[in-house]
Structures are given as C-alpha cells and as structure tokens.
C-alpha cells in the first residue's frame, strides 16, 4: 500500500468536503476537517503513510503550519520519530532561521528553530503538508531544511492541485508524493 489504488483514493477524496466559491468565486476549497473528524478515514490515511515511510529510515517529520502539523505530528508518532514545525514569523520562542518566498502580491516567510534537528548531522527528513498549490511555501521550507544541512528525502502532500504546477517546482528540489491529485 505504498501507493493507493483508485478505490482507496476515491474513499479518501470522498471524505474531504469540496466547497465551491470559497474564499472567492471560481475556487473549489478542499476542506480536510471532514477527513480529520472521520476516524476511519483519518486512521486509513495514517496507516497508509506509516507503511509508505516505515523503511525510509527518517529522523524527523517536518510539518508546515498549520495543517501540516496535524498530519506530521501523527505520522511522526506512528513512526516513533520527532516532529519539527515550520511556522510563520514570530511564532517560535527560541532562536530561528528564516526563508523568504514570493507570493502573487508580495513576500512571506517561514521559520524553524535553529536546533530543530537536535544537532543530528545529515538528518533525513520528510516534509509534509495538506496541500500543494503553487509550491512557494513548500519550496521555502525545503530551503530552510537545507540551511541546517539536513536532507529532505521527500515532500508529501495529501492533495496536489495539479493545474497549479507546484509539485513540478518541488520536484526540482526533492521527490514528491501526493496521496490525491485534483
């Protein structure tokens, strides 16, 4: 079950609510709260990801604020390894490193604690988030991981919005696995 079959993908996709015209007309928002509150669907997803990453010999899971925290912390617990949050500026209490990235209309930034990987040399990490759209935040997160000399062995997303091509940008930096593609 390292890659889901079409029936399993449909099961997970059906557990995610689609909301038309949110946050603005023409957008179909994928509301994962319905997957999160469906114990069977969430457990199925976590079992799948645990099986997929069990033999990667990962040291840490890195989750992007905020929904990446949910999947990342749960997966880290399943794999018996540490979890590291990547957050927006001024949210982490200790010394941080930062990476800026461009948005359609401006610049944003992500941060991580300077000692996030507990001084583990060449830590092998998995980056995880709920969704990949244009890839800006994920790309900045991978660059942040690289600043620590850790290796991002793969970036995992629950949903890939294929038409926005974000996964193609991330594939220039690391392997990408998307559970679902819409």
Active-site residue numbers?
Answer: 67, 104
Q: What is the DSSP letter of 93?
A: S
Strand-strand pairing, 151-160 and 124-132: parallel
Helix, strand and coil content of the chain, in percent to the nearest 5, comes to 35, 35, 30
Kindly state the greatest CA–CA separation across the chain: 47
- In angstroms, the Cα distances linking 104 to 107, 123, 134 are 8, 32, 10
Q: Tell me the C-alpha distance between 60 and 113, whole Å.
A: 14
Give the residue carrying structure tokens 């926005």. 164
59 and 123 in contact (C-beta within 8 Å)?
Answer: yes
C-alpha closest to that of 139 among 109, 111, 170: 170
Q: Tell me the C-alpha distance between 27 and 2, whole Å.
A: 31
């Amino acid at each position: 079950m390292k890659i889901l079959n079409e029936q399993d993908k449909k099961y997970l996709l059906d557990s995610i609510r689609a909301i038309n015209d949110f946050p603005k007309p023409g957008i179909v928002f994928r509301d994962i709260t319905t997957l999160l509150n469906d114990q069977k669907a969430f457990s199925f997803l976590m079992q799948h990801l645990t099986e997929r990453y069990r033999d990667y010999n990962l040291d840490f899971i890195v989750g992007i604020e905020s929904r990446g925290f949910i999947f990342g912390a749960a997966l880290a617990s399943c794999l018996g390894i540490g979890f590291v949050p990547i957050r927006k500026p001024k949210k982490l209490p200790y010394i941080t490193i930062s990476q800026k990235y461009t948005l359609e209309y401006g610049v944003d930034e992500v941060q991580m604690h300077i000692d996030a990987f507990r001084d583990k040399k060449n830590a092998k990490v998995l980056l995880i988030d709920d969704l990949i759209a244009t890839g800006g935040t994920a790309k900045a997160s991978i660059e942040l991981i690289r600043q620590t000399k850790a290796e991002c062995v793969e970036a995992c997303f629950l949903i890939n919005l294929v038409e926005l091509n974000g996964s193609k940008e991330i594939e220039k930096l690391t392997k990408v696995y998307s559970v679902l593609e819409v």
